Structures are given as C-alpha cells and as structure tokens.
Chains A and B, each alone.
Chain A
Amino acid sequence: MTATDQATAATRLSTAELAAVRADFPLLARTMRGGRPLVYLDSGATSQKPDPVLDAEQDFYVQRNAAVHRGAHQLAEEATEAFEGARSAVAAFVGADEDEIVWTSNATAAINLVAYAMSNATAGRGGEAARRFALAPGDEIVVTEAEHHANLVPWQELAARTGAVLRWLEVDDSGRIRVDQATSVITERTRVVAFTHASNVTGAVTPVAPLVAAAHAVGALVVLDACQSVPHLPVNLHELGVDFAAFSGHKMLGPTGVGALYGRRELLEAMPPVTTGGSMVEVVTMTETTYAPPPQRFEAGTQMVAQAIGMGAAAQYLSDLGMTAVAQHEHEIAVELLKIAEIPGVRIIGPTEPVDRLAVVSFVVDGVHSHDVGQVLDDAGIAVRVGHHCAQPLHRRFKVAATARASASVYTTVEEIEALRESLGTVRAFFGLT
C-alpha cells in the first residue's frame, strides 16, 4: 500500500461505517412494489433524511417550539438558541461566518433574493452603498449553458427589468463549462457572473478559481449555485472567494422548505432588502423604515424554524462523517456509475472519466425514451430521475429532449450501482431492440 492509498483508506468510509450510515436513514429500509428493496439513485433531486435530522425537527416541536427573536420567556430563548445554533452549524459547514448566512425557503429563493436586491438597487433603494448592485442598460450578466433553470431564469428576468444583457459561457462536448471563454465573455461591462459549482445533469465540477479571478478582475460579482456541491464535496466559501452562494437543505440530508444564501459580509451589509415586513426592521414610522443588519434584513416574516434546525442537524451530521470521507466514498460510487457506458446502447451525457465530477450521471439509452428507461428501472425498485432535470438549454446543447439520471449520496452502495447496471442491461431487450 502506498502512502496515498493509506491516506485514502484512512479517509474513506469503511464497510461498517457505510452500514451504520444507512441504518441512520429509516426510509432506505422500505421495500417497493413487489417487495423489492429500494435502490434510491435520485439524491440529486432530493436526498433522504437521517434520524438526527428527523429528531432535531421533532425535538424542536416537542420541546422548544416558540417564536424566535422575540418574547422574554424561556421557550423563546431556547427556540432562538436552536435556530441561531443551526445557522452557526451551516455557516461552519460551508466555511462562512454565521452572519453571512441568510435563511431562504430554498436555493431558488436565495438566487432570486440576490437578483431582486439588484433590481431594488437599480431603482435607487439602499442609497449610495447599494449602487454597486445597480445595473444599467448595456451592463452584462454572465451565466453558463450548464445552469439549472434556477440559476438562469432569475438572471433573464433581471436583465429584462434593467436593460442589462445576458451572456453565457458554453459547455464543451464532455459537458464541462468552457472556462477558456471567460476572458472573451467576461468583460468590463460584466456586473454579475453566475455559475454552478457542479452540474446537476453532467456532474461536472466547475473550476471556480479562474472564473472568480476573471469576474473580480472586472469588478463583477460572483454568484455560485452550490446546491450540488455542498452535499457532496468539502466546500469552503471563503476560500473559494465567491461573493454569493446558494444551496438547499433538502439536497444535503436536511428538510425541504429551507435553503441558504451566503453573502460576503460587506455585500450583505450594503444590499437593500427584498421581502419586507416584520422581523427585518429597526425603526418603523408611518412614512419610513430603517432596516435591521444582515442576515435579519433578508428574513422577513416568520421563518421556517424547524426546517432550519433540521438543516443545521444535517450540516452537523455531514461534518461528523467528514466531507473528505463523504467525497471519497461518492468518488468510488462515481467510478462504478460510469461503467454503465459499457452497456450496449447506453451513452453518458457528461464527463466519462471519474475526474472532477460527482456521482451524478445522466444518460440516454439508444432508441428508448428516458421515461421508459425510468419505468423499467422503477420496476426493479430503482429510483432515477427522468426528463430534462430543470436544464433545458443543456439538453438542447446535446440534442436530447430528456435523459435519465442516476445520482448518489453518502448512503449509496456499490451493490446498488450493480443493480442499476444489471437492470439497465435489460432495457433495450424489453423494448424489442438488440
């Protein structure tokens, strides 16, 4: 065993550890139609939830339920402590400070928050400090062809509202973002560069550093869609140097209904609010209002307290496992997943080598629509996603209307991928193709 092998062995999940992880996820034990064991390969859409997450939510309602940040009673104190403790856990998990994490209802809401704050700044809200967020006709917003609709449509809309122009980096034939186009597409006119850290379709991990460098060289803000990276890779947002990042609770073993926006402190401080009302104010008169400092400025109304606490528990759960070990385990799953390319008629959309990619593999089966592929797999108890995965432009780029996608998480086993390969091998024959 080489030194590298020993290091790998020390950081990966052992068989016993993986079994222990799976035992934490009650849903994984259920059976599907015909009594077949569940093979859940749709974690890219939403992950399953471990007991510590379920317990944290339950515990909040059973023991601590109260309005946070108000009320002088003990329950309110405990609820506030749990809520803010969750924020600290999530912040620590992604290498941010706790006042840089804004709770949102999901990652889509987090990206929209930035886009609408820029609209408000364009309309003059937020005063002089917010002028850095204002757009003028002719300014440019840069995205990529690999984006989930959640990191594309809000920017199309912002461009339409402000007269800014939307431009984009293309993807190459292996599904990777054309970082080489950065110097020509990102120019002095660029004000925002929004891109995914890891594609929910191709699984390709984007090299963040050169895009951040290109954006910052021209004074543009970087918005990172970290939905697929945060649950699967060690992510340190301070080290990545991005200005904003969005990620969701439910893809990282946490509950639905909660996500987070990370913003660099000085940016959040300068940014005007979007949703206004209770809980985000300082002084309110009949004519005007001053706003609370971030993150509360962006958290109007009653928050999703139980879900936030669940997301905090999920961050803690993954931290305890160690994201290096999680990433190493999922790398091994990716290696297994990529072997589906050996099945006749199966073509992977995305990188075919297990390098700088996640265990998210989209594919087509020659002559069989992905919906039908998914149905055959479902009959074997195997859950995959079919369709365009909220990334129509990327599918159009590869001239396919739809793909099937197998995506893993920390609880996925090599045996499950073997079951996928075996079942996938029967698909073409089922539809009378050889």
Chain B
Amino acid sequence: MSSSMEALYQQVILDHSKRPNGKGLIEVSGPLAGESHQVNPTCGDEVTMRVQFAQDPAGRKIVERVSWEGEGCSISQASLSVLTELVTGTQIDEVERLGETFRQLMQSRGKGLDEALEDELGDATAFTGVSQFPARIKCALLGWAALRDTFATSGVLAEATATTTTGRATSTPDR
C-alpha cells in the first residue's frame, strides 16, 4: 500500500465511516431549521441533511443538532461524521469559518495548513490526504455543501450576517 493511500485512508477516517455521527434523520421544526439534499452526479453519492438551529443565551444562532442520511464512499461518510461532531453547538459564523478552512485544506494538495488552523479542524485534518486526490475532494466536501445549503434554506445565515454586522460595530474592541 502506497504512502499516499495510507494518508488518504487514515484510521480516524475509516473509524468515522464505520460508526458515523449524526446518521439517521431527525425531525426538525420551526424557522430555525434547514434541510438540504445534495448529490455528487459523477459517482452517485447522495446526502440529505437536516439541521436544527437554536439561539444561545446571547441571542446568537448556533447549530444545535445535525442529522443526515446518505449513501457514499468512506470519505464522504467520514466527512459527514466529522462535520457533525465539529459543528454541533457552534455559532454559525464560526461554522462558516470552519467550512472555509476545510475548503482551503482540500485545496492544499496534501500539504495541509498552518498548525493553528489545523487545530481548529480537529479530526477534520485527517482529510489532508484527500487533497492529493482531486477526484475525491468532492466526496469530502459533499457534507459541507449540504450544511452550507441548510443555512440558506433556513434563512439563518442572512439573520446571522445581519447580527454579526451589527454585533461587530459594538464588539470590535474585544477582537
């Protein structure tokens, strides 16, 4: 087995793909709920994701719970699992930032990112090896695309951006 294969199929990825987090759709309701269906037309991978958002005590929108049902390769399934773990309980502007960091990781051609950024991604850094295989990047991004789409279908992103924008004006000194 070549080293790039070992980098691609790290044990953490294989473990997540066998025992994925968040698999099995939950009922979501209210205005703070989003659903997305994504397909990868080249390989037929499919995912349906439902996300329940909530408001934390400070009034910020957070991802309360992620659930999904899908069929796909070990990379796509593990990525969905890791994503579920990573974003549950996280503020959505932070989730957007993590998603952007993950997309950067996928463009890194196997080189990875700065240590600080990788630390934030946690288990998701295990997907560094995927970025060496251009045909597999879409697999790793399928869940992230679905998650982003749930922001749009729920409308929570527009609200969050508005909150963040107004919030920024007052909280800039803290940053």
Contacts and interface: CB of A to CB of B under 8 A. Distances in A.
Interface centre among B5, B46, B72, B75 (most CB of A within 10 A): B5
B44 A375 contact: no
A401 interface: yes
B4 interface: yes
Contact of A432 (B4, B8, B14, B42): B14
Nearest to A403: B44
Interface residues of B, number: 21
Q: Which DSSP category, helix, strand, loop or mixed, fits chain A's interface?
A: helix
A375 B45 contact: no
Interface stretch (A265-273, A295-303, A347-355, A384-392): A384-392
Contact of B71 (A33, A368, A401): A401
B74 interface: yes
Contact of A401 (B9, B45, B74): B45
Interface centre among A34, A375, A432 (most CB of B within 10 A): A375
B118 to A, nearest CB: 23
Contact of B133 (A34, A370, A375, A388): A375
Contact of A371 (B4, B46, B139): B139
Interface in A142-156: none
Interface string B72-101: 111100000000000000000000000000
Contacts of B73: 369-372
B18 interface: yes
B2 interface: yes
A33 B45 CA distance: 26
B43 interface: yes
B5 A369 contact: no
Interface string B127-153: 000000100100100000000000000
Contact of B43 (A34, A370, A376): A370
A386 B161 CA distance: 40
A108 to B, nearest CB: 16
A375 B5 contact: yes
Nearest to A379: B5
Interface string B11-45: 00010001000000000000000000000001111
Q: Which DSSP category, helix, strand, loop or mixed, fits chain B's interface?
A: mixed
Interface string B50-79: 000000000000000000000111110000
Interface in A29-72: 33-34
B43 A372 contact: no
B2 A34 contact: yes
A331 B142 CA distance: 40
A370 B73 CA distance: 7
B1 interface: yes
Interface in A337-377: 368-372, 375-376
A402 B71 CA distance: 10
Contacts of A392: 44
Contacts of A401: 44-46, 71-72
A387 B18 contact: no
Contacts of B4: 33, 379
Contact of B44 (A33, A376, A395): A395
B135 to A, nearest CB: 8
Contacts of A369: 71-74
Contacts of B75: 371-372
Nearest to B5: A379
A430 B43 CA distance: 21
B42 A387 contact: yes
B15 to A, nearest CB: 9
A388 B72 CA distance: 12
A402 B133 contact: no
B1 A379 contact: yes
A402 B40 CA distance: 11
Contacts of B133: 375
Contacts of B74: 368-369, 372, 431
Interface string B118-132: 000000000000000
Contacts of B18: 432
Nearest to B42: A387
B1 A387 contact: no
B43 A371 contact: yes
B14 A402 contact: no
Contacts of B45: 371, 401-402
Nearest to A376: B5
Given A372-B73, A375-B133, A431-B14, 20 more contacts: A369-B72, A369-B73, A370-B73, A371-B43, A371-B45, A371-B72, A371-B75, A371-B136, A371-B139, A372-B75, A375-B136, A379-B4, A379-B5, A386-B43, A392-B44, A401-B46, A401-B72, A402-B45, A431-B74, A432-B18
25 contacts: A369-B73, A370-B43, A371-B43, A371-B73, A371-B136, A371-B139, A372-B9, A375-B5, A375-B133, A375-B136, A376-B5, A379-B1, A379-B4, A386-B43, A387-B42, A387-B43, A395-B44, A401-B45, A401-B71, A401-B72, A402-B44, A402-B45, A431-B14, A431-B74, A432-B18
Interface of A: 33-34, 368-372, 375-376, 379, 386-388, 392, 395, 401-402, 430-432
The 10 closest A-B pairs by CB, nearest first: A371-B73, A369-B73, A387-B43, A388-B44, A402-B44, A401-B44, A379-B5, A401-B71, A372-B73, A372-B74
